[in-house]
Amino acid sequence: MRALGLYSGGLDSTLAIKIMLSHGIDVIPIGYVTPFFSPDIGYGEGVLGVPIVRVDITEEYIDVLLSPSHGYGKNMNPCIDCHRFMIRKTRSLLSIYGADFIVTGEVLGERPMSQTRWALKEVEKEAEGLVVRPLSGRLLPPTIPEQNGWIKREWLYDISGRRRDRQIELARAFGIREYKNPAGGCLLTDSNFSKRLRFLIGLKAKPSREELELLRFGRHFYVNNSWIIIGRNERENNIIKDVSLWDFKLFPIDYPGPTGIIVRGDSSDIAARLLVRYSDAPKGTRSRVMVFKNTGESYILEVEGMPDEEIGKIRI
């Protein structure tokens, strides 16, 4: 028998797939990718010992994110709708990969919003009877794979709640010594990222993929209808330098410092003052900034860094 396994990168999904593999089920792990979450494919393939199929679902997922029928969690995380969408998407892939059912790492009672008994049943409507949850399967009604004899109920576990002791014990049994933090996988659960996302949705009802990607890095500011991003480190400076969505791009001249862009707007003087503030220029010193426009023009501004009290008013 063959199954598709939802691989998130966390320990639960890793264990769910390993359990099925250990009983001879041919599992093809599916790693869904968006700007908000993306499993470490290299790590996963090393632990699981099988290739992971990477599927970018960004364009479809944006609609789920913007209008979740079950609402959001604490931040901008539409957990129930997210899981339901992934089950629906995975079911559509079953015939493509010649698979018979779906395996997930969901644990009954582990998440207060998305893994209650009601939520698991609600999510399963997209592939009713075909979703096997190896970690909690003994606590849930028999699935079609069980009823048809494709898998055995004794292969399944009765794990529930938020404690991780049994998962850690299982990881040891499978020889898994390193695993990802269960709370660190989705940016939509992060309050700062969610604040930026609300800002962007306020600017544009349906943001593009690249606009969403921009939220992931840098310091963000909004003033005089200008959206400004200033890098925080060398990695982010390199990313900002290479993005294609910008009206202005700024570089420090006199002192080492970050790269900046104005995604939209024309407040280059303010962006330059922000750039100098986060550069190595001594406080109160005027410093030059090279400014490039997306039209091909360029010029130099000499400014003093913006005071912190002003920055606080415009930072997103």
- 52-111 pLDDT, tens digit each: 999 999 999 999 999 999 999 889 999 999 999 999 999 999 999 999 999 999 999 887
pLDDT of 180: 67
Please report the domains of the chain, with CATH numbers, ordered by start residue. Answer: 2-186 (3.40.50.620), 217-314 (no CATH)
What is the signed CA dihedral for 226, 232, 233, 234, rounded to 10 degrees? 0
Q: Which two tokens stand for residue 160?
A: 């529930």
Helices marked H in 183-250: 191-203, 209-214, 234-242
Instruction: Give just the sign of the alpha carbon dihedral 175, 176, 178, 181.
Output: negative
Give percent above pLDDT 90 in the chain: 88
pLDDT of 67: 92
Mapped onto helix, strand or coil, the DSSP state of residue 263 is strand
**183 pLDDT above the threshold of 50:** no
Instruction: Give just the sign of the alpha carbon dihedral 214, 220, 222, 225.
Output: negative
Confidence of residue 14 (pLDDT cuts 50, 70, 90): very high
Confidence of residue 185 (pLDDT cuts 50, 70, 90): confident
pLDDT in tens, 122-171: 888 889 899 999 999 999 999 999 999 999 999 999 999 988 899 999 99
What is the arithmetic mean of pLDDT over 280-297?
Answer: 96
**193 pLDDT above the threshold of 90:** yes
Query: Residue with structure tokens 């018979």?
Result: 100
What's the chain's average pLDDT?
94
**188 pLDDT above the threshold of 50:** yes
pLDDT of 243: 94
